[in-house]
Amino acid sequence: MKVYIGDYPNNHWSVERSKDWWVSRRHGVDYIFQMDESKYDWLDELFFRVTDLWQGVLNATINKLLKNRERKISVRIDPHDTWGMDTTLAYIILPMLKQLKTTKHGSPWVDDEDVPHLIKKKKRGKKKSDEEEDQHADAHERWDWVMDEMIWTFEQIVDPDEGRNNYYIPYEAGEEIDRAPFCFTNAETDETIYLWTEEEEREMGRYDPDLHKKYQERVNRGLRLFGKYYQGLWD
């Protein structure tokens, strides 16, 4: 596999940042939309007139060239990439999820049914305005929980041991090893064949089907959340 996805192309040059810089230096506000136009003086009007003229020049020249510029994307898939496509994609998805959680600037809506009881949206206010505000009060906390579940799930998918430490219990000293789950009988020779040596089985631990069931349920939940909130994966 070889993937190249370029940065989002700048399809429009604008003078708005220049205007923001101007009002921040002269009037102490961050953005031009925060200014009351009645407070502009002749110098402000002159600056804005010049920048508007310059915007017209940009629109007539470079912005026409940039208008149809497309993002550079090149993807080559090799046959071995789809031998275990779930794992191949997980190697890409996992670091992207981790980076997104670190750099995100917002959170999508998360349904109550998808999060534990303690972080379901709280409705503390009695007034309608308070209730509307409370609906979004815990949005970031709920989304962080969902992202943690997705990250954990893809960590299991790329784990070389397939998450066995989650459902194998270490043997106690002197405890007898149950080798039955990891052997089969050769139909022709009636010989019992073991998948691992006794030492390997002891190192691996005792298989717990109940823990395995809970583990798989959590993996399935993470994959379900990933699918449900796939379009919420934005910065």
Q: pLDDT tens digits for 166-204?
A: 999 988 888 888 777 778 888 888 898 988 888 888 888
> Do 106 and 44 belong to one domain?
no
At residue 126, does pLDDT exceed 50? no
Residue 193's CB is within 10 A of a number of other CB atoms, namely: 10
pLDDT at 47: 94
Residue 97: inside a domain: yes
- The count of domains in the chain is 3
| Range scoring the smallest mean pLDDT among 8-12, 105-109, 134-138 | 134-138
- Whether residues 91 and 118 share a domain: the answer is yes
pLDDT at 44: 92
Residue-level pLDDT at 124: 47
> In terms of domains, do 136 and 224 share one?
yes
Q: How many CB atoms lie within 10 A of CB 225?
A: 20
| DSSP at 170 | P
Report the distance separating Cα 117 and Cα 104, nearest Å: 24
> Around Cβ 162, how many Cβ atoms within 10 Å?
12
Mean per-residue pLDDT for 51-74?
89
Strand partners, 192: 185
Residues 158 and 173 in one domain: no
Confidence of residue 210 (pLDDT cuts 50, 70, 90): very high
Alpha-carbon distance 159 to 61, whole Å? Answer: 53
Highest mean pLDDT among 7-11, 31-35, 92-96, 121-125: 92-96
Indicate whether 89 pLDDT > 50: yes
Q: Does residue 50 register a pLDDT over 90?
A: yes
53 & 7 share domain? yes
User: Three-class SS of residue 3?
Assistant: strand
Among 10-14, 26-30, 80-84, whose mean pLDDT is lowest?
Answer: 10-14
Cβ density class 127-149: b for 16+ within 10 Å, e for less: eeeeeeeeeeebeeebbbbbbeb
Give the pLDDT confidence score for residue 145 in this predicted structure.
Answer: 95
Question: Mean of the pLDDT values across residues 145-165?
Answer: 95
pLDDT value for 29: 87
The pLDDT value given to residue 144: 94
Tell me which residue range forms the domain holding 182.
Answer: 168-207
Q: DSSP string covering 115-158, please?
A: S-GGGSPP---SSHHHHHHHTTTTHHHHHHHHHHHHHHHHHHHH
Model pLDDT, residue 197: 85
Domain presence at residue 72: no
**128 and 221 in one domain?**
yes
For the whole prediction, is pTM greater than 0.85? Answer: no
Q: What percent of the chain has a predicted confidence (pLDDT) above 70?
A: 92
Q: What is the 3-state secondary structure (H, E, C) of the chain?
A: CEEEECCCCCCCCCCHHHHHHHHHHHHCCCCHHHCCHHHCCHHHHHHHHHHHHHHHHHHHCHHHHHCCCCCCEEEECCHHHHCCHHHHHHHHHHHHHHHHHHHCCCCCCCCHHHCCHHHCCCCCCCCHHHHHHHCCCCHHHHHHHHHHHHHHHHHHHHCCCCCHHHCEECCCCCCCCCCHHHEEECCCCCCEEECCCHHHHHHHCEECHHHHHHHHHHHHHHHHHHHHCHHHCCC
Residue 71 lies in a domain: no
pLDDT greater at residue 76 or residue 138: 76
Residue with the larger pLDDT of the pair 185 and 228 = 228
- Average pLDDT, integer, range 52-79: 90
Considering the domain boundaries, does residue 76 fall inside one? no
Per-residue pLDDT, averaged over 19-31, amounts to: 90
Asked whether residue 156 falls in the same domain as residue 177, the answer is no
Rounded to the nearest integer, the mean pLDDT of the chain is: 88
Based on the domain organization, do 99 and 152 belong to the same domain?
yes
